[in-house]
Amino acid sequence: MLSASGLLAGKVVVVSGVGPALGRSIAVQSAAAGAKVVLAARTLERLETVATEIRDRGGIALAVPTDLTDVDSIASLAETALAEFGAVDALVNNAFVQPAQVPLLEADMASIQSGIDINMLAALNVTRALAPALIASQGSIVMVNSMVLRNQLPGFGAYRVMKAGLLAIARSLSVELGPKGVRVNSVAPGYIWADSVKNMFDKKAAERGVDPRVIYDEIAAGTDLRRLPEPDDIANAVVFLGSEFARAITGQCLDVNCGHTHH
């Protein structure tokens, strides 16, 4: 495993949307790079599992149950992080929900609105709450986006709209916060080789009566590296963008998809 030891030494990183795959990897890799990590998501048990893993590795982690669709809960997250650590140096907005894969013209409007609340507005509201702290620390924001920005896969229309909106938010915040010393970038993963994609490939394989490896190889054949990125691959890019090694990078979207699309 690659090590980014020291890259975030002395930094405080808030990760919103901590789940069992990418969110966990971002939190763990940030801690491995030397950061004190604040974990935010709705489920305390999930947060504590990741926090315990970080502590067992010698890191520092604080679990803060947060409803990322509620501005009061987000305000409490910001207050708790600052009360515990006194500063916030980086924010990673990773919360997302993927809508049903149906044509955009047939998508349920309530589902679209719910998706917008998580995929777009949650990131904006968390950033608003932490903006003063990030300005004070001359910090960094990373938005986790998606390869749907680039590809033409059918059935992802609603998700593509939400992620395009998130990209616009990131670019706008870069313009607004850049003069105040805060960098804002995005990372756009491709298929992430973790449980949700593995389950999807298993389902496709069962439907066709083939081994799941056949599905993997078919998808991976569309990438330049002939493999799919793993959670740590994306997390490492996030750590880089949050570090001083990326001090001249802002307003950018870094695609991490093993060459599945070019940009």
Mean pLDDT across the chain: 96
- Provide mean pLDDT across the span 29-43: 97
User: What pLDDT is recorded for position 144?
Assistant: 98
Q: Model confidence over 194-239: pLDDT tens digits? A: 998 999 999 999 999 999 999 999 999 999 999 999 999 999 999 9
DSSP line for 113-146: HHHHIIIIIHHHHHHHHHHHHHHHHT-EEEEE--
Residues of the chain with CATH 3.40.50.720: 12-192+230-256
**For the chain, what percent of residues have pLDDT higher than 90?**
93
Q: What is the DSSP letter of 98?
A: P
For residue 233 the two structure tokens come to 């691959």
Query: What is the C-alpha R_g of the chain?
Result: 18
DSSP, collapsed to helix, strand or coil, labels residue 190 as coil
Largest CA distance in the chain: 57
User: What pLDDT is recorded for position 263?
Assistant: 84
Q: Please report, as a single letter, which amino acid is at residue 146.
A: S
State how far the Cα of 234 lies from the Cα of 56, in Å rounded to an integer: 23
Q: Model confidence over 54-72: pLDDT tens digits? A: 999 999 999 999 999 999 9
Most confident of 97-111, 169-183, 191-205: 169-183
Catalytic residue positions, numbered: 159
For residue 76 the two structure tokens come to 């409490």
State how far the Cα of 159 lies from the Cα of 42, in Å rounded to an integer: 21
2 pLDDT higher than 90 = no
- Provide mean pLDDT across the span 22-29: 97
Which CATH architecture fits 12-192+230-256? 3-Layer(aba) Sandwich (3.40)
**Model confidence, pTM:** 0.94
Residues paired with residue 150 on neighbouring β-strands, in sequence order: none
State how far the Cα of 173 lies from the Cα of 171, in Å rounded to an integer: 5
